[in-house]
Amino acid sequence: MTLKEVAALAGVSVSTVSRIINSPDDSFARKEVRDRVWSIIKETGYTPNLNAKELKCGKIKEQKSSDGALACILGRTRTLEDDPFFAQLARVIEQQAMEQGYPVRFSYSVFDMKPNSIPEETSSFKADGAIILGRVNKNYMDFLEKRYKNLVYVGRNIISASCDQVICNGYEATQIAMKHLIAYGHRRIGYIGEISGEVRYQAYLDTLREHGLAFSPGLVSNCPQNGAGGYQGADYLLNTAKPLPTAIFCATDIAAIAALRRFTESKIKVPEQLSIISMDNIELSGYVSPMLTTVGMPIVEMGNIAVQTLLNRIHKRHRLPMQIFLPNKLAIRESVANLNAGAYI
């Protein structure tokens, strides 16, 4: 399969395909065009001509192309359309894997798995390794570790598993967000997100305790960490929290964006009446109004390191299970009011 053939199947020019697969932030062309091109790449197993690339760079040594292939497994969501964070991460992984000659040939969700079996359409495909995006329960994890000899988990929480892990710590990210709210004078802080086994909720509780702030169950909305959950969580607080908190931490950006919509519908002004902060720093967080203050995770680095770690495992460059931690960074925008200064940032 050549670049020209991929372009013909996608109904676009060769240069468009080239720019899509080389776009560092997956922003070139319309989303439907990008998705169509990447779908064809996944189905066909297209990889760049490594020999031609080396020659173009002035390197004479011949390089043999790999015949390897990877799988991508969604642990927290049924489809990538449901979670922009993992959608961006998956695209980075697809780009990096293709560049390394190990294209991602199949993606599926644990929600599509039957007990002790992967989806039928992937059962005949033998991957050299797999990358898991987001947490899975112990039963799924045990099965996947038996199914794939080479496995890397990428997510916000450490999991109990013997595979390599690339982590951007959700506990730490929540602490950063909460401490930012407290530094801005907020003392009555709500929470929208999951509770059971969730490190973000534990960090929320621990940070309140650390700063001597009272915990109020009425300010906590236990809901899924997606768009529907964020909207539901905001609606719950509108009906039960009397008065409303001055600020709310949402477990994900997509939940925060949906919560923002629900508060806006109820004529609650953000951030003048209610501040919102979250985590992930997905692309959309900088385009809503007000723009979302959030704790960003280095999605590009997470994806690139996950692929490189998996390839190192495949080629036996390391044998012990590794845990690689990447830093979080606060992105201050418009959705948090500074109560100390009487202004907002």
The CATH number of whichever domain residue 23 belongs to comes to 1.10.260.40
What pLDDT does residue 63 have? 40
Q: Kindly report, residue by residue over 273-283, the tens digit of the pLDDT.
A: 999 999 999 98
149 is a domain residue: no
Last residue of a domain, one of 65, 97, 121: 65
Claim to verify: residue 202 and residue 337 sit in the same structural domain = yes
What pLDDT does residue 52 have? 47
Last residue of a domain, one of 36, 65, 94: 65
Which one has a higher pLDDT value, 167 or 34? Answer: 167
Q: Is 175 helix (H, G, I), strand (E, B) or coil?
A: helix
Percent of the chain topping pLDDT 70: 91
Q: Which domain holds residue 33?
A: 1-65
Counting the structural domains of the chain, the total is 2
What does the angle CA 2 – CA 300 – CA 33 come to, to the nearest 5 degrees?
Answer: 45
340 is a domain residue: yes
339 is a domain residue: yes
Confidence tier at 172 by pLDDT (50, 70, 90) = very high
Q: Kindly report, residue by residue over 234-252, the tens digit of the pLDDT.
A: 999 999 998 999 999 999 9
Q: Is 250 helix (H, G, I), strand (E, B) or coil?
A: strand
What pLDDT does residue 24 have? 66
176 is a domain residue: yes
pLDDT > 60? residue 305: yes
Q: Which residues contact 40 (CB under 8 A, 6 or more apart)?
A: 6, 9, 10, 46
Question: CA 251, CA 232: separation in Å to the nearest integer?
Answer: 13
**How large is the angle between the packed helices 14-22 and 84-99, nearest 10 degrees?**
110
Question: CA 33, CA 12: separation in Å to the nearest integer?
Answer: 8
230 is a domain residue: yes
Q: How buried is residue 173: exposed, middle or buried, by Cβ count under 10 Å (0-12/13-18/19+)?
A: buried
Last residue of a domain, one of 35, 65, 95: 65
What pLDDT does residue 133 have? 96
What pLDDT does residue 14 have? 82
pTM listed for this prediction? 0.83
Claim to verify: residue 226 and residue 339 sit in the same structural domain = yes
Residue 327 Cα to chain centre, angstroms: 14
Claim to verify: residue 46 and residue 177 sit in the same structural domain = no
What pLDDT does residue 124 have? 67
Q: Which of these, 133, 132, 113, 131, lies nearest to 123 by C-alpha position?
A: 113
pLDDT > 90? residue 72: yes
103 is a domain residue: no
Claim to verify: residue 340 and residue 197 sit in the same structural domain = yes
CATH number at residue 229: 3.40.50.2300
302 is a domain residue: no
Question: CA 186, CA 178: separation in Å to the nearest integer?
Answer: 9
1 is a domain residue: yes
Q: How buried is residue 117: exposed, middle or buried, by Cβ count under 10 Å (0-12/13-18/19+)?
A: exposed
